[in-house]
Chain A
Amino acid sequence: MSSPEQWTHPEPASAPAATAAKPTAEQVIAGLRATDQGDVNLVQLLTPEGERVQHPDFDIDITAEELRGLYRDMVLIRRVDREANALQRKGQLGIWVPLLGQEAAQIGAGRAMRPDDMAFPSYREHGIAWTRGIHPTDLLGIFRGTDMGSWDPVEHKFHPYTIVIGNQVLNATGYAMGQKFDGKVGDADGEATMCFFGDGATSQGDVHEGFVWAAVYDAPLVFFCQNNQWAISEPTERQSRLPLYQRARGYGFPGIRVDGNDVLATLAVTRWALEECRQGNGPILIEAFTYRMDAHTTSDDPSRYRLSDELELWKLKDPIERVKVHLVKQQWADSAFFESIEQESEALAVELREFCVNMPDPPPERIFANVYAEGNPVLEAQRDEFLAYVEGFAGGEH
C-alpha cells in the first residue's frame, strides 16, 4: 500500500489536456469527456467484462460470500430505485432522484464504513443509506412530502439528505474536526467521516472551503465525489478543466480516481482512505467515476442535452452485470442464488409500494413542531390560533 507522503503531491500521469474547447462528437460518444482526457489513473479491480485485474497500489481480498453480499446490496437498491421511480410516475411520490448506474459507487463506499463512522449525504445517496441500516421506506417521506427524512441521524450515523448543493461538505468537515478534537483519531480503531457530493458540487464555494478546512485541521474526512458526468444538464467540463480528483493536490491531500462502476475497486480505495483518516492522515478525496444512467430527477428530460449513444456506451460498463459475470465465472454463485436475490428484490419492491401508498399525511400541527428546541412563545401563539381555526371546521376538515 502506498504511503501518505507519496500521495501528498501526486504527479498527474500526463498533463491534462486543455479543455476550453468543447469535446468533439467522437469524444462524447466514446465517453472521453473532457475530464477524462489523457488520464490513465483510474483504479479498477473488476473490468466491465467481469475480469479481476490487479492494481499496484490497491487490492482487495474478497470472499465469495462477501462478493455475493455486494451483489445483493446492488440488486436490492437498484430495485428500490426503480420502484420509487415508478411510484413517482403513478403519482405516489412528488419527485424521485434516481441512483441508477451509481450502485457500485455507493455500495462500495458505504460498505467500507464502520458503524462508528459518520456519513454526510447529498440527496441521491439511497445506496449509502442502505448500508447505514436505513430502511428504504424511511426515504420515501422526503419525496412524498410527508417529512424531510424520518431516520435518526444520530443512531444511524447518517446525516439528513442535504439538498442545497455542497452545504453538507462543511458540516461533515466540522464533524470530522470534532472526531479529532475528541481524540478518536490516531490508530486503527479511530473514527472517520465520509462526505458525499457530486461533480456539480465541486464548483460550490462550500466544497472548496471544506477542502481548505479539512486540510488545515487534518480532519479524518473522506471527500467522496460521485462524478456521474452530469449536473442536471451541465457536463463535467462546465465545472472543471482538470480531472476532479487532481484538485486535491492543490489543497495538499491525496486525490484518487476510482472506477465508480466497480464495486471492488470502490470498496478497496474507500477502505484505504478511511484507514488513512483513522490513523490521522486525512483528509482524502476520492472521485468515483460513474454515470447517471437516468434523469437528474423525475422532473428532468435528459434527451434535451445528451446523446443516447453515450448512455449506450455506459450500459456496457454496468456495475451489477460485471459482478454477476464474475460470480458465475468463479462459480461463486449459481442460478438458485440469483433467483433468490431476484425474489428478495421483488418482495422489497412490494413492501416499498405498499408502505408508500399507505403513508398518512402529517397532521397540521406538524407544521409547527420542532422549529425550536426550547420553544418560542410567538410561534406557539401562532400555532394555537391556527389550530383553533382548523378546529372550528366540522370534523377538523377545512
Chain B
Amino acid sequence: MAAPTMNRAGSDSGDSAVQTLTISKALNMGLRAAMEANPKVLMMGEDIGKLGGVFRITDGLQKDFGEQRVLDTPLAESGIIGTAVGLAIRGYRPVCEIQFDGFIFPGFDQIVSQVAKLHYRTQGKNKLPMVIRVPFGGGIGAVEHHSESPESYFAHTAGLKVVSCSNPTDAYWMIQQAIDCDDPVLFFEPKRRYYEKAPVDTTKAPGPLFESRVLRTASNSASAGTSTSAGQAATLVGYGPMIRVCLDAANAAAEDGTELEVIDLRTLSPLDLGPVYDSVRRTGRLVVVSEAPSESSITSEIAAKVQQECFYSLQAPVLRVTGFDTPYPPSKLEEEFLPDLDRVLHAVDRSLAW
C-alpha cells in the first residue's frame, strides 16, 4: 500500500487551514483522511476505483490505497451491503457507495434485516460500524431512478442512523464522523449541490455528528436594524439539498422584513429537534422543507413532534413544502416537483397569515 500524501490543510502553509472546496472535493478529502487515520476503513462500490465513482467522490483513492482498500465491486447492491456486513464483523469499517439513490433497493433487505438488527440480535456482541453513502435528490435532469429521496425508509428503521450534509464543511467532517461511529450510518449526499463551494476549516470539526444546526436566527440575521416582531418571523427546517433553498428564501424574505430562522437538521435519525423547538418557541411558526414526498415522512415526524413539544407556542399549524406524493416525474417536470424559493415563501406567507 502506498503511503498517500494527504494535501491536508495546515500542513503545507500556516494559513491554509481554511480552503475553498466543493462538497464533492470535501467528501473526497474526508474519505481520504478517514482511510489514513484507520487502516480498517475500506471503500466498496461500483466504479469507485479507477473511475473514482460516477461523481468522482472517491477519485484517486484506489491509486493511493490499493485495490484491497478501495474495491470496485461486482454490480450488485445487496452484495455490496451484505458483504460489508461480514467485513464489519471481521473488524473492518466498510464505506459503501450506492451509485444513485434509486439503486439502493436491491440492498434494502440487507440494510433492514441485517445491518439494522445485528447489534440488537446479538445483544451488542456484533457491532456494525459501516457507512452507506447515497447521492440523493433531484435537480440534475436525470432519467428515472436517479433523483429519488429514500431517506424516510431508513429513518423509519430502528438500528440505523441517518444523516445528510448540506455544505462542504459538513461534507468533510460529517463523513469522517460517520466512519468513526460504531453504529451503521446512512449518509445522504445532496448530489445537485456537489459542486457548490465554500470555505472549509480542515483543522477543527464544527460539532458532533448527530446535532442539528441553526444557520440563521431572527436576531442575528436582521439587517438594517429591523427587529423581529410577533407575526413577522417563522422557522424554516430542512436538510441536504433544501438548505440552499431555505437560505435563499430567508434572504428574500428579509428584504420584505420577514425574519426566517433556518435550521439544518443534519441528522435525520436520531432527530435533534431541540434547536427547532427553541426556534419555534421564538417565532411561533414552522415550515418544514424536503424533496422527499410528504406522506409518512421525516417532515411528518417533525410536524408531530413540534405540535407535541410546542403546542402553546404555535401561532399557525406546521406547514410542509415537499416533493409530491408521486413517483419522481420526468425531469422536464422536476422544477415543478422540487420545492423552490417561491413555494417556500408561499408557505411562509400562509403561515404568517394564519
Contact = CB atoms under 8 A, between A and B. Distances in A.
Contact of A373 (B76, B110, B183): B183
B109 A164 contact: yes
A374 interface: yes
Given A152-B125, A206-B78, A378-B271, A175 B119 contact: no
B86 A209 contact: no
Interface in A130-146: none
A370 B76 CA distance: 30
Contact of B83 (A147, A177, A182): A177
A154 B76 contact: no
B86 A149 contact: no
A58 interface: no
Contacts of B122: 148-149, 152-153, 160, 370
B119 A370 contact: yes
A174 B270 contact: no
Contacts of A91: none
B289 to A, nearest CB: 21
Contacts of A159: 89
A170 B128 CA distance: 15
A172 B83 CA distance: 7
Interface in B42-92: 68, 73-74, 76, 78-79, 81-92
Interface in A166-189: 167, 169-179, 181-182
A377 interface: yes
B159 interface: yes
A393 interface: no
A175 B79 contact: no
A174 B78 contact: no
Contact of B270 (A148, A179, A378): A378
B146 interface: no
A371 interface: yes
B159 A372 contact: yes
A376 interface: yes
A22 B243 CA distance: 61
A174 B161 contact: no
A178 B87 contact: yes
A167 B119 contact: no
A379 interface: yes
Interface stretch (A210-218, A223-231, A309-317): A210-218
Interface string B87-102: 1111110100000000
B121 A148 contact: yes
B181 interface: yes
Contact of A210 (B82, B88, B181, B183): B82
B110 A170 contact: yes
B32 interface: no
B123 A181 contact: no
Nearest to B84: A174
A373 B119 contact: yes
A171 B114 contact: yes
Contacts, number: 136
Best-buried of B68, B81, B109, B127 by chain A (most CB within 10 Å): B109
B86 A178 contact: yes
B311 interface: no
A206 B124 contact: no
Contacts of B92: 178, 181
Given A170-B110, A373-B119, A378-B271, A178 B91 contact: yes
A23 interface: no
B120 interface: yes
B230 interface: no
Given A152-B125, A209-B74, A372 B86 contact: no
Contact of B89 (A169, A175, A205): A175
B298 to A, nearest CB: 13
Contacts of B91: 178
A369 interface: yes
Contacts of A153: 89, 122, 125-126
B85 A171 contact: yes
A176 B76 contact: no
A213 B158 contact: no
B238 to A, nearest CB: 19
B78 A173 contact: no
B22 to A, nearest CB: 30
Contact of B78 (A160, A175, A209, A378): A209
B182 interface: yes
B308 to A, nearest CB: 12
Contacts of B125: 152-154
Contact of B90 (A167, A175, A212, A376): A175
Interface string A113-131: 0000000100000000000
A4 B128 CA distance: 35
B248 to A, nearest CB: 30
A285 B213 CA distance: 52
Nearest to B94: A174
B87 A205 contact: no
Contacts of A212: 74, 76, 79
A149 B121 CA distance: 7
A152 B123 CA distance: 9
Interface in A320-371: 369-371
A171 B73 CA distance: 15
B126 A174 contact: no
Nearest to B69: A181
B113 interface: yes
Nearest to A205: B78
B159 A371 contact: yes
Interface of B: 68, 73-74, 76, 78-79, 81-92, 94, 106, 109-110, 113-114, 118-129, 158-159, 161, 181-183, 269-272
Closest 4 CB pairs of A and B: A174-B86, A170-B82, A178-B90, A174-B83
Interface of A: 120, 147-150, 152-154, 159-160, 162, 164, 167, 169-179, 181-182, 205-206, 209-210, 212-213, 216, 369-374, 376-379
Given A170-B78, A371-B158, A374-B182, 18 more contacts: A148-B120, A153-B125, A160-B118, A167-B114, A169-B82, A171-B85, A172-B86, A173-B83, A175-B86, A181-B87, A181-B92, A209-B74, A212-B76, A212-B79, A372-B183, A374-B183, A378-B269, A379-B270
